[in-house]
Amino acid sequence: MSIPEFDPAYGRAVTIADGIARLTANNPSPFTYFGTNGYLVGGEQLIIIDPGPDLAGGLDTWLDIIGGRKVHAIAITHTHIDHSPMAHRLKAAIGAPIAAFGPHRPARPLFEGEINPFAESADMALIPDIVLQDGDTLAAGGIVLEAIHTPGHTANHLAFALQDTPYLFCGDHIMGWSTTIVAPPDGAMGDYMASLEKLLERAESIYLPGHGDIIADARNVVRATRSHRRMREKAILERLAAGDETIDEIVQVIYRTTDPKLHGAAGLSVLAHLEDLVERGRVDTDGPPMLANRYRLPV
User: Contact between 213 and Zn ion (CB under 5 A)?
Assistant: no
Tell the smallest beta-carbon distance from residue 175 to Zn ion (Å).
9
Mind giving me the DSSP string for the chain?
Answer: -PPPP----TTSPEEEETTEEEEE-S--BTTTBT--EEEEEESSEEEEE---S--TTHHHHHHHHHTTPEEEEEE-S--BTTTSTHHHHHHHHH-PPEEES-S---SSPPPTT---TTGGGB-TT---SEE--TT-EEEETTEEEEEEE--SSSTT-EEEEETTSSEEEEETTS-SSSPPP--TTT--HHHHHHHHHHHHTS---EEEESSSS-BTTHHHHHHHHHHHHHHHHHHHHHHHHTT--SHHHHHHHHTTTS-GGGHHHHHHHHHHHHHHHHHTTSSEESSS--TT--EE---
CB closer to Zn ion, 10 vs 31? 31
CB closer to Zn ion, 52 vs 289? 52
Stretch that binds Zn ion, among 2-10, 72-80, 190-198, 259-267 (CB under 5 A): 72-80
User: Contact between 232 and Zn ion (CB under 5 A)?
Assistant: no
Peptide bond into 103 cis (omega under 30): no
Stretch that binds Zn ion, among 86-94, 169-177, 197-205, 252-260 (CB under 5 A): 169-177
Structural element, H or E, at residue 269: helix 263-279
Strands 14-17 and 20-24, bridge-based pairing: antiparallel
Q: What is the DSSP letter of 80?
A: B
CB closer to Zn ion, 123 vs 172? 172
Tell the smallest beta-carbon distance from residue 36 to Zn ion (Å).
9
Q: How far apart are CA 177 and CA 4, in angstroms?
A: 7
CB closer to Zn ion, 186 vs 244? 186
CB closer to Zn ion, 146 vs 172? 172
User: Contact between 104 and Zn ion (CB under 5 A)?
Assistant: no
Stretch that binds Zn ion, among 13-21, 45-53, 168-176, 214-222 (CB under 5 A): 168-176
Site string (122-161) toward Zn ion, x via CB under 5 A: ----------------------------------------
Interface with Zn ion (CB under 5 A), residue from 172, 191, 244, 275? 172
Q: How far apart are CA 3 and CA 180, in angstroms?
A: 14
User: Length of the chain in residues, anyone?
Assistant: 299
Stretch that binds Zn ion, among 75-83, 105-113, 124-132, 201-209 (CB under 5 A): 75-83
Tell the smallest beta-carbon distance from residue 107 to Zn ion (Å).
13
Name the residue whose CB lies closest to Zn ion.
Answer: 80
Tell the smallest beta-carbon distance from residue 54 to Zn ion (Å).
15
Stretch that binds Zn ion, among 11-19, 76-84, 135-143, 190-198 (CB under 5 A): 76-84
Residues in binding contact with Zn ion, number by CB under 5 A: 2
Tell the smallest beta-carbon distance from residue 62 to Zn ion (Å).
20
Stretch that binds Zn ion, among 73-81, 111-119, 138-146, 189-197 (CB under 5 A): 73-81
Backbone angles phi, psi at 17, to 5 degrees: -165, 175
Tell the smallest beta-carbon distance from residue 153 to Zn ion (Å).
6
User: Contact between 80 and Zn ion (CB under 5 A)?
Assistant: yes
Binding site for Zn ion (CB under 5 A): 80, 172
